[in-house]
């Protein structure tokens, strides 16, 4: 245990030697975590390291199989999430768990609404909601349904709900944030950190789970690293540099592959796809785009700038109103995904949960479904062939699973993403559209996916990759298209392929 130069010597919450088994998997082995009042404690590790499981044990969602949990030095175990909440442990999960049809205010105070004469006092509720959100730098109409706001706002509301006072519960002692910044832009992240600092001063212990290491260094005081369900170490953030941290997380040194040159020299390659003055309603305006064969093209821009809409358009999910689109030398009009897939276009969508995976089905079925859909329903891919296909990609993409019959919904985010990728690689598309392929996945899987993109290019596949991480884009793109307000504002290649230039283009400095 590391020494602490803080006045409080006793941890608020201490987890010792926690074990948790699932059928066939030891999710946690001798895991531990100590939280002190008034600190931001980063809980780090690759996908599948056991962070989420540990949090679930801590918050009463799962029951531990062994070990002990001390809250204020007394042994505790929570049978339900409600017990944990009552004891002052609040959690904000990775996926927003709110009710989109209710108002923002109602979501904030659901179950502990301010009452007047036994009825909900809407006025007071709206007022309290406004106050709470203003501390987040958020001024929105709290009476509007939550679904009217962006995912980022919803995420902030979820966090606000986590710290909102609840009736009959102890004040929040521990706040757990599982990937709170995944869908936030830079400003919103700073707002959130502002709030976290306030909470810290009020003596709340904050557990911060993230894949963004820069944010770890910005906000956290201490770090606990986990790997394969085990505790690796506890560190003071100030005395651990990034390379050491990554080494602890991966158990190995990460090669500095991010700064390699793009995979293909920028020479005149044949175009696999070209769009001229392509428009689609309000979502994409007058797009000129040329995707060269065997290269990865990056698509940069802020949330809502039209990146996802381009992917949807090129995959036949949205229809073009005007303009010309040609694929592999032939003019095409895309009307539905099946047609795009038949031509050789594939899309890994942005939202894995609702658009990508079919959660209850097995890895094997998820991998073979796209190929099966392309072949048609009457020509079944035999179970044996499905198994071979699945095994091949499980090995090739290093998907961490005991077998191919595990439901994809039970995998960690990075492994889910790999299964979705495998699904499309099995179809052998000519053009692969990747919409935020590395969102919410750990750095190990992240590096593997970047490597895979590079490798696919070498094999002659063309890719269009959107990402919010500019450095990542420069690692494999032969050119980068920058979007702003639904329009293409810049196309960068060669010398200009660096994060600063992209940032400038996004910000509008270059126009």
Partner 1 sequence: MTTEGVILNSSQPEQQNAGQSNAEQLKAARQARYSPGQSAHKFSLYLYPLLALALLLLVNLLLDPQFFSLQWQDGRLYGPLIDIVNRSAPVALLAIGMSLVIATGGIDLSVGAVMAICGAVCANLLLLGDWSIPAVIGLAVLTGLACGLVNGVMVSYLGIQPIVATLVLMVAGRGVAQLLNQGQIVTFQNPDFAALGSGDFLGLPVPVWLVLLALLVMQLLLRRTALGLFIEAVGCNAKASRYLGIDDKGIKLSVYLLTGCCAALAGIVATADIQGSDANNAGLWLELDAILAVVIGGAALTGGRFSLPRAVIGVLIIQALSTTIVVSGLPAKFNLLIKALVILLVLMLQSELFRNQLKALFSFGKAHGGKA
> Using CB under 8 A as the criterion, which residues of the chain lie in contact with partner 1 when the complex forms?
23-24, 252, 255, 257, 315, 317, 336-338, 340-342, 347, 349, 354-361, 365, 369-370, 372-381, 385, 387-389, 391-398, 402-405, 423, 425-426, 428, 444, 447-448, 451-452, 455, 459
* Residue 354 C-beta: closest distance to partner 1, Å: 6
CA distance linking residue 132 with residue 119, whole number of Å: 21
**What are the tokens at 229?**
């369900």
CB nearer partner 1, residue 15 or residue 465: 465
| Residue recorded with tokens 């935020």 | 436
CA dihedral 7, 10, 14, 16 (to 10 degrees): 120
* Residue 387 C-beta: closest distance to partner 1, Å: 7
CB nearer partner 1, residue 24 or residue 118: 24
CB nearer partner 1, residue 7 or residue 354: 354
Q: Nearest 5 degrees, angle CA 117-CA 123-CA 125?
A: 85
**What separation in angstroms does the CA of 146 have from each of 1, 108, 133, 191?**
43, 10, 13, 19
CB nearer partner 1, residue 77 or residue 285: 77
Question: What are residue 57's phi and psi, to 5 degrees?
Answer: -65, -40
* Residue 221 C-beta: closest distance to partner 1, Å: 31
Contact 245, 232 (CB under 8 A): no
Going by C-alpha positions, the residue among 54, 67, 60, 68 that lies closest to residue 89 is: 60
**What separation in angstroms does the CA of 201 have from each of 40, 42, 205?**
11, 17, 10
Count of positions (residues) in the chain: 511
18: which strand partners?
Answer: 31
CB nearer partner 1, residue 251 or residue 508: 251
* Residue 370 C-beta: closest distance to partner 1, Å: 5
Beta-strand runs (E) in 398-503: 431-435, 462-466, 479-484, 487-493
Helix (H) or strand (E) holding 122: helix 122-134
* Residue 229 C-beta: closest distance to partner 1, Å: 18
* Residue 388 C-beta: closest distance to partner 1, Å: 4
**How many other C-beta atoms can be found within 10 angstroms of the C-beta atom of residue 300?**
28
CB nearer partner 1, residue 235 or residue 315: 315
**How many other C-beta atoms can be found within 10 angstroms of the C-beta atom of residue 480?**
26
* Residue 341 C-beta: closest distance to partner 1, Å: 4
CB nearer partner 1, residue 10 or residue 455: 455
Going by C-alpha positions, the residue among 51, 302, 49, 40 that lies closest to residue 183 is: 302
* Residue 476 C-beta: closest distance to partner 1, Å: 14
* Residue 428 C-beta: closest distance to partner 1, Å: 7
CB nearer partner 1, residue 138 or residue 341: 341
CB nearer partner 1, residue 104 or residue 311: 311
CB nearer partner 1, residue 206 or residue 314: 314
CA distance linking residue 108 with residue 133, whole number of Å: 10
* Residue 452 C-beta: closest distance to partner 1, Å: 6
* Residue 377 C-beta: closest distance to partner 1, Å: 4
| Residue recorded with tokens 């679930």 | 56
**How many other C-beta atoms can be found within 10 angstroms of the C-beta atom of residue 286?**
14
CA distance linking residue 488 with residue 242, whole number of Å: 35
**How many other C-beta atoms can be found within 10 angstroms of the C-beta atom of residue 372?**
17
| Residue recorded with tokens 């699904």 | 423
CB nearer partner 1, residue 277 or residue 335: 335
CB nearer partner 1, residue 117 or residue 379: 379
* Residue 47 C-beta: closest distance to partner 1, Å: 12
CA distance linking residue 475 with residue 456, whole number of Å: 14
**How many other C-beta atoms can be found within 10 angstroms of the C-beta atom of residue 242?**
12
487: which strand partners?
Answer: 484
Contact 205, 175 (CB under 8 A): yes
User: How far apart, in Å, do the first and last CA atoms of the chain sit?
Assistant: 54
CB nearer partner 1, residue 12 or residue 453: 453
* Residue 216 C-beta: closest distance to partner 1, Å: 22
């Amino acid at each position: 245990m590391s020494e602490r130069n803080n006045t409080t010597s006793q941890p608020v919450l201490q987890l010792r030697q926690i074990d948790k088994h699932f059928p066939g998997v030891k999710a946690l082995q001798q895991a531990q975590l100590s939280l002190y009042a008034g600190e931001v404690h980063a809980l780090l590790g690759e996908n599948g390291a056991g962070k989420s499981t540990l949090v679930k044990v801590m918050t009463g969602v799962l029951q531990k199989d062994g070990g002990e949990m001390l809250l204020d030095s007394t042994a505790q175990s929570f049978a339900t999430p409600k017990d944990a909440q009552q004891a002052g442990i609040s959690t904000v999960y990775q996926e927003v768990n709110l009710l989109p049809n209710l108002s923002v205010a109602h979501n904030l105070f659901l179950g502990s609404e301010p009452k007047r004469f036994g009825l909900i006092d809407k006025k007071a509720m709206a007022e309290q909601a406004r106050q709470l959100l203003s501390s987040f730098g958020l001024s929105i109409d709290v009476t509007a349904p939550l679904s009217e706001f962006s995912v980022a706002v919803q995420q902030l509301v979820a966090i606000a709900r986590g710290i909102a006072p609840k009736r009959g519960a102890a004040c929040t002692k521990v706040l757990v944030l599982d990937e709170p910044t995944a869908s936030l832009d830079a400003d919103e992240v700073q707002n959130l950190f502002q709030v976290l600092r306030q909470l810290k001063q009020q003596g709340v212990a904050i557990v911060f789970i993230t894949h963004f290491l820069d944010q770890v260094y910005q906000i956290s005081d201490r770090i606990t690293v986990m790997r394969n369900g085990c505790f690796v170490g506890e560190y003071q953030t100030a005395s651990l540099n990034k390379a050491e941290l990554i080494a602890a997380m991966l158990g190995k040194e990460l090669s500095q592959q991010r700064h390699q040159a793009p995979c293909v020299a920028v020479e005149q390659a044949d175009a696999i796809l070209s769009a001229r003055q392509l428009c689609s309603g309000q979502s994409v305006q007058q797009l000129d785009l040329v995707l060269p064969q065997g290269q990865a093209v990056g698509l940069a821009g802020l949330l809502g700038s039209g990146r996802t809409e381009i992917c949807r358009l090129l995959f036949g999910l949205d229809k073009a109103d005007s303009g010309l689109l040609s694929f592999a030398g032939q003019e095409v009009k895309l009307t539905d995904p099946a047609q795009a897939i038949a031509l050789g276009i594939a899309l890994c969508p942005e939202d894995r949960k609702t658009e990508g995976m079919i959660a209850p089905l097995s890895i094997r079925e998820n991998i073979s479904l796209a190929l099966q859909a392309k072949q048609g329903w009457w020509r079944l891919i035999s179970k044996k062939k499905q198994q071979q296909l699945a095994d091949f990609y499980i090995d090739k993409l290093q998907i961490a699973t005991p077998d191919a019959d595990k439901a994809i919904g039970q995998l960690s985010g990075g492994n889910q993403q790999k299964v979705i990728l495998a699904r499309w690689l099995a179809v052998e598309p000519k053009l692969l559209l990747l919409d935020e392929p590395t969102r919410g996945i750990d750095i190990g899987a992240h590096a593997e996916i970047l490597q895979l993109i590079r490798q696919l290019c070498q094999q002659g596949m063309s890719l269009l990759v959107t990402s919010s991480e500019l450095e990542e884009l420069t690692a494999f793109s032969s050119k980068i298209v920058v979007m702003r307000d639904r329009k293409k504002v810049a196309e960068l290649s060669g010398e200009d392929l660096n994060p600063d230039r992209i940032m400038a283009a996004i910000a509008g400095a270059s126009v």
